[in-house]
């Protein structure tokens, strides 16, 4: 299961409406209330409380629509799309991205179209529609001179490169080339984002694991885990723990694998990512069997069968 844990960050983290508004006393009450709901939504989103985030952003959307504030409507649709992607509600994400895209066609908001396209690509990747994702990403990618970007990439372009690298690994085509492109782009940009840096470490660790450089791969993954925890970015933490579990399985380090998969499952469960919970539980069942814990392995397998039926 391919996960995108480089979050494109909710738009209003950088572009709060209050930043371009006047004195709060002179602004309409509806604007102030919408901003309050948005801030509450941001906090809920940061806490991976998707239900509360959806509720707050929906209220903000309604308030902005009620006063025909198209900027606020656009921001709210993008925020709701990100909630949908994080919660695995892809139909809802698609609806909000479509509505955001319609607004972004207006001259005043065309600068937000790349961001919307990036989210559409991430939706396609999560649904394993890699051909469509690659098509959407192509206009967002910088021009390369072999492995090096011709110009300094911005955050949208960096995230697009990371997403394209994810596709390369999923399709098992040109993984090394895209990892090197991502590394050089990140270095050229001077971007200090721990989330972006940690994702690069995970790509590099994957390549090292394929070359059987297991200790070096583990070292990079531990650095990635530390980076994600510093943000903190739960999806990145969970994905890295799962990757460490797979690396341990490859080396038949069953006790370590057990620990990593249990921890990964706990974080994925907190995130409400049931697909990843089941995927890693399958690995854990195999590990428990290798450890001689037959009863535990059977119990996990039975749980998986019941979940697949429901």
CATH number of the structural domain spanning residue 28: 1.25.40
State residue 12's pLDDT score: 43
Model's pTM, two decimal places? Answer: 0.90
Count of domains forming the chain: 1
The pLDDT-based confidence of 4 (bands split at 50, 70, 90) is very low
Alpha helices in the chain (DSSP H): 11-14, 29-46, 50-66, 70-87, 90-104, 113-126, 130-137, 155-171, 175-189, 194-210, 214-230, 234-250, 254-271, 274-290, 294-309
What is the chain's mean pLDDT, rounded?
92
Structure-token pair, residue 270: 């907190």
Q: What value does the mean pLDDT take over residues 112-124?
A: 96
Three-state secondary structure call for residue 106:
coil
State residue 21's pLDDT score: 45
Residue 10: inside a domain, yes or no? Answer: yes
pLDDT in tens, 23-36: 545 678 999 999 99
pLDDT in tens, 160-171: 999 999 999 999
Residue 30: inside a domain, yes or no? Answer: yes
Three-state secondary structure call for residue 228:
helix
Residue 95: inside a domain, yes or no? Answer: yes
State residue 15's pLDDT score: 43
The pLDDT-based confidence of 13 (bands split at 50, 70, 90) is very low
Residue 196: inside a domain, yes or no? Answer: no
State residue 1's pLDDT score: 41
State residue 252's pLDDT score: 98
Rg (CA), the chain: 21
State residue 95's pLDDT score: 98
pLDDT in tens, 264-289: 999 999 999 999 999 999 999 999 99
pLDDT of 6 higher than 80: no
Residue 276: inside a domain, yes or no? Answer: no
Taking alpha carbons only, the member of 203, 269, 275 closest to residue 234 is 269
| Torsion from C-alpha of 19, 21, 24, 28, nearest 10 degrees | -130
Q: CB of 57 within 8 A of CB of 19?
A: no
Residue 17: inside a domain, yes or no? Answer: yes
Q: What value does the mean pLDDT take over residues 113-126?
A: 96
Count of CA atoms in the C-beta half-sphere (13 A) of 125: 29
Cross-strand bridge partners of residue 144: 149
Q: 33 lies in which domain range? A: 1-129
Count of CA atoms in the C-beta half-sphere (13 A) of 27: 16
Q: What value does the mean pLDDT take over residues 59-88?
A: 96
Collect all residues with Cβ–Cβ distance below 8 Å to 43 and sequence separation of at least 6. none
Residue 294: inside a domain, yes or no? Answer: no
- Cα 64 to the chain's mean position, in Å? 27
pLDDT in tens, 227-247: 999 999 999 999 999 999 999
d(CA 264, CA 241): 5
Residue 255: C-alpha distances to residues 79, 101, 174, 246, 287 (Å): 41, 49, 33, 12, 8
Residue 1, Cβ neighbours under 10 Å: how many? Answer: 14
Residue 48: inside a domain, yes or no? Answer: yes
Q: What value does the mean pLDDT take over residues 84-91?
A: 94
């Amino acid at each position: 299961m391919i996960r995108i844990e480089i979050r494109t960050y909710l738009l209003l983290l950088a572009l709060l409406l209050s930043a371009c508004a006047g004195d709060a006393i002179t602004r309409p009450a509806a604007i102030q209330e919408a901003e309050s709901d948005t801030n509450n939504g941001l906090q809920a989103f940061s806490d991976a409380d998707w239900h509360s985030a959806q509720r707050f952003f929906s209220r903000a959307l309604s308030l902005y629509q009620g006063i025909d504030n198209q900027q606020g409507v656009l921001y709210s649709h993008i925020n709701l799309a990100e909630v949908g992607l994080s919660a695995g509600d892809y139909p809802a994400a698609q609806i909000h991205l479509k509505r955001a895209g319609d607004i972004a066609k207006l001259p005043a908001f065309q600068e937000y179209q790349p961001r919307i396209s990036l989210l559409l690509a991430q939706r396609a990747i999560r649904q394993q529609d890699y051909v469509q994702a690659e098509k959407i990403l192509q206009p967002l990618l910088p021009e390369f001179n072999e492995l090096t970007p011709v110009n300094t990439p911005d955050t949208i372009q960096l995230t697009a490169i990371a997403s394209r690298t994810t596709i390369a690994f999923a399709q098992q085509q040109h993984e090394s080339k895209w990892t090197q492109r991502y590394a050089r782009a990140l270095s050229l940009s001077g971007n200090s984002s721990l989330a972006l840096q940690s994702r690069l470490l995970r790509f590099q660790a994957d390549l090292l694991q394929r070359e059987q450089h297991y200790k070096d791969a583990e070292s990079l993954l531990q650095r990635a885990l530390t980076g994600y925890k510093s943000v903190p970015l739960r999806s990145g933490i969970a994905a890295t723990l799962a990757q460490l579990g797979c690396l341990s399985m490859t080396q038949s380090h069953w006790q370590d694998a057990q620990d990593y998969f249990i921890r990964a499952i706990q974080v994925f469960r907190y995130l409400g990512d049931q697909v990843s919970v089941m995927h890693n539980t399958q690995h854990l069942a195999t590990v428990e069997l290798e450890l001689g814990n037959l009863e535990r392995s059977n119990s996990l397998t039975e749980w998986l069968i019941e979940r697949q039926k429901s």
